[in-house]
Chains A and B, each alone.
Chain A
Amino acid sequence: MEYGLKPLGREKLWLLALLMPTLIGLLFGALGSVIATVVLSFAKWDLLTPPTWAGTINYVSLVTDQKVLLSLTNTLKFTALYVPGVVVISLLVAVLMNRKIRGVSLFRTAYFLPAVTSAVATALVWNMIYGKDTGLLNFILERLGIPAVCWLCTDTAMYSVVAVNIWGAIGEGMIIFLAGLTAIPREYYDAADIDGANGVQQFFRLTVPLITPSIFFQGLMSTINAFQAFDYIYMLTRRGQGDSSIPVVVFSIYRNGWYFFNYGGASAQAIMLTVVVAVFMALAFWLERRYVVYE
């Protein structure tokens, strides 16, 4: 997609100036994170003694270690549940809120509240809500005659944690979509009214195509967030000081790097994660080229 201004003459310097901070940051980021991680993934490092070369042994264990495969499956499952949930719900909320209704800033605050807190703080509350015998949710369910569920037991933990993560992310998505919705000029809707289109038609024919940039952004960011989800999983599913009942890749990276003196293995897992997400990213960009509408 070849769009854009061509910088004229001295403006080329301006281009450089505007991009300079990001270029420096990329250097930092590339050196500090990506390259270091790649190099370390071929090493054996316990953080305390100097790293030693280990060849491809970390990558081999990615395929042979059951735990790693489990963490990857969990991560993919999490993503599949989380991304559609967040995008659809926050879009719906944003659309509903974009109508000129009274008290909209109060609603905005209410929906943004979960996104504003730290997982450490709210996870405590969710533990109290999800408790099997003493939890608020089961308390309400039993009042309604529905049998209690063990929300954080291995079988249901994934769904319960995805729900909490979605709850915490709706606010962000809502804001992104609201920003995108406000960019659609009023005149378009007025013109559609004149043409006789009703609300639903307007939504699907007008709104959705015009916010595809936001959908693209939110979809991609949610996917990346899903792959890196850690806080709520750490707080809600950890058994004592040990493993999580639904370990995901980031959790495994955390334990390997910080508890098992296996920083090399953790780096290899991080690279594996990056590759998988990069595939999703490529998919997203392909979808962008086909479906996203820019004016």
Chain B
Amino acid sequence: MKMRLFALTVLVSLLLVACGGAKTPAPAASAPAEITMMMWGDPAELDVWNQIVADFHQATPNISVKVEVSDWDSYWTKLKTLLSAGTPPDVFAMDAPLYLDYQSRGVLLNLQPYLDKNPDMLKGVYPQTLEAYKTADGMYGLPRDFQTIVLFYNKDMFDEAKVAYPSGDWTYDDLRTASKSLTKIGSDGKVTQFGFYSDLWDMELIWSEAIWAYGGDIINADHTKTLIGEPQAREAWQLFHEMMFVDKSWPDSTTAGEYGGDPFLAGVAAMTTIGHWAVPGYAEAGFKWDVAPMPKGPAGQTTSVNSAGFVVGKASKNPDAAFEFLKYVLSEPAQKRLAELGFACPVLTTVAESDAFLKQPTPIDQKIFIDSLAFAHMKPVFKGYDEWSSAIGDGMATIWTGEAELGPTLDAAVTAADEVLAKNK
């Protein structure tokens, strides 16, 4: 009995303190509500989100959140099953490029009315991260963190080969030269160390950035034509192809698969381009590394910005409570916790530029991720994105195993991709 009274007292006093604070949002729903939140992630993320949810519950005691985290593949299977049965989770995570596939099919709640009632809510958020979620009749989702792609390099390998670390002035030619110097080929012709590796299936890791840097583009404005086969884009593809098959400084996809898909992490490639999500995993690698901005091309310096966001299911029974949770996710306390988690970059400018993000346990130049926003292009988002990127990824896969020629295969992939676009109009 005494314990319960004590706990109640503590709770009440916490409530009073919480309500007294200026920044915490006032609870909007008066009836107690339980909402489910589903997302993809690693077990480490589950722990932090449970903490965020606990904090949220303290701030808004009448709303409790049930968190469900799965791995990427499982997540989409689960989500689609739930949506097909008409029982979606209240809040769920969304990858920006796939957003329109869901929004256009009417399963997301339009958040604009709520946003209109809370005009200051998005003031502190990086505008580039909001772009993907804007549609003609409002925003149906909100970003929770963002990713920019930067260049990671293995300091030990650079020191050993006596090559200068990558700088912000590097061009793609510099990248190629350095990769060559860092590639070691044994007497039997087998490469024992590669200069560079990046994934070529999805555009986000290297090829969209390179195409933009050479002055090309991925897709036209109204999403009816694929542009990756245009002359300027072809220069980028040519560069990759020569690095892989002439210089041999970039492992082909079969070889990369033997290293678990990440030769950089496996310690056989000196450089890679990837986003902040890799940092916690790399932190446990056995070598010293750091980050640098993406290289420049003839058309300038570019990188890709993508975000993971939250959306509310249209069939949700607690839309108000769900929105309250989204509001909390975009507030400083939650963004701080996410920053400390180290998987992504917080969308709130104040937090991103604070020590919570900049002074993380891993001793690398965190600021590069934020500064890259200045020259970042948004990862394209349109209906049919999955099928379109598969048409390209699958279509070009045989180039990167060395089984097909670059030119004609690229053309065939572009044709297949355009067919998907036509189908989804």
Check: B190 CB closer than 8 A to any chain A CB: yes
Q: Decide yes or no: A132 and B386 within 8 Å by CB, A48-B84, A48-B105 being known contacts.
A: no
A258 to B75, CA, bound (A): 11
Q: How big is the B interface, by class?
A: 20 to 34
A49 to B398, CA, bound (A): 35
A293 to B85, CA, bound (A): 48
Please state if B202 and A131 are interface contacts (CB–CB under 8 Å).
no
Residues of B near A243 (CB, < 8 A) are 390, 393-394, 397
Please state if B201 and A46 are interface contacts (CB–CB under 8 Å).
no
Query: Can you name the residue of chain A whose Cβ is closest to the Cβ of B420?
Result: A260
Q: Decide yes or no: A258 and B254 within 8 Å by CB, A239-B394, A241-B201, A242-B397 being known contacts.
A: no
Interface size, chain A (Cβ < 8 Å): 26
Q: Decide yes or no: A242 and B393 within 8 Å by CB, A133-B190, A258-B80 being known contacts.
A: yes
Residues of A near B183 (CB, < 8 A) are none
Please state if B201 and A154 are interface contacts (CB–CB under 8 Å).
no
Residues of B near A153 (CB, < 8 A) are 254, 401, 403
A195 to B83, CA, bound (A): 70
Please state if A132 and B390 are interface contacts (CB–CB under 8 Å).
no
Which of B50-58, B163-171, B255-263 contacts the other chain?
Answer: B255-263
Query: Can you name the residue of chain A whose Cβ is closest to the Cβ of B401?
Result: A153
Q: What per-residue 1/0 map shows which CB atoms of B197-215 lie under 8 Å from chain A?
A: 0010110000000000000
Check: A277 CB closer than 8 A to any chain B CB: no
Residues of B near A152 (CB, < 8 A) are 254, 257
A131 to B261, CA, bound (A): 12
Q: Which residues, 236 to 258 on A, are CB-close (under 8 Å) to B?
A: 239-243, 245, 255, 258
In the assembled complex, the CB of A128 is this many whole angstroms from the nearest CB of chain B, namely: 8
Given A48-B83, A242-B390, output 19 extra A-B contacts at Cβ < 8 Å. A47-B83, A48-B84, A48-B102, A48-B107, A127-B258, A133-B190, A134-B259, A152-B257, A153-B254, A153-B403, A239-B201, A239-B253, A240-B201, A240-B202, A242-B394, A258-B77, A258-B80, A259-B386, A260-B386
Q: What are the 4 tightest A-B residue pairs by CB atom distance, in nearest-first order?
A: A240-B201, A131-B258, A243-B394, A48-B105
Query: Which residues of B pack against A, CB within 8 Å?
Result: 76-77, 80, 83-84, 101-102, 105-107, 190, 199, 201-202, 253-255, 257-259, 261, 386-387, 390, 393-394, 397-398, 401, 403
